Amino acid sequence: MFKIIPAVDLKNGRCVQLVQGIPTRKRISLEDPVGIAMRWIDCGAEILHIIDLDGAIDGVRVKSGLVDEILRRSGDVEVQVGGGIRTHADVASLLEIGVERVIIGTIAIQNPEFVRELADEFGSRHITVALDARDGKVTTHGWKEKTNVDPPEYAESFESLGAGSILFTNIDTEGMLQGVRPEPTAELVKAVGIPVIASGGITTLEDVAILKKTGACGVVIGTALYLERFSLSDAMEI
Which residues are designated catalytic?
Answer: 9, 132
211 with 198: CB under 8 angstroms?
Answer: yes
Nearest residue to 151 (alpha-carbon basis) of 102, 118, 209, 198: 198
Measured CA to CA in angstroms, residue 227 lies from 12, 37, 87, 191 at distances of: 21, 15, 35, 34
Report the alpha-carbon distance of residue 46 to residue 184 in Å, rounded.
26
What are the CA-CA distances from residue 166 to residues 35, 161, 162 (Å)? Answer: 28, 12, 11
Spatial CA neighbour of 155 closest among 125, 181, 131: 131
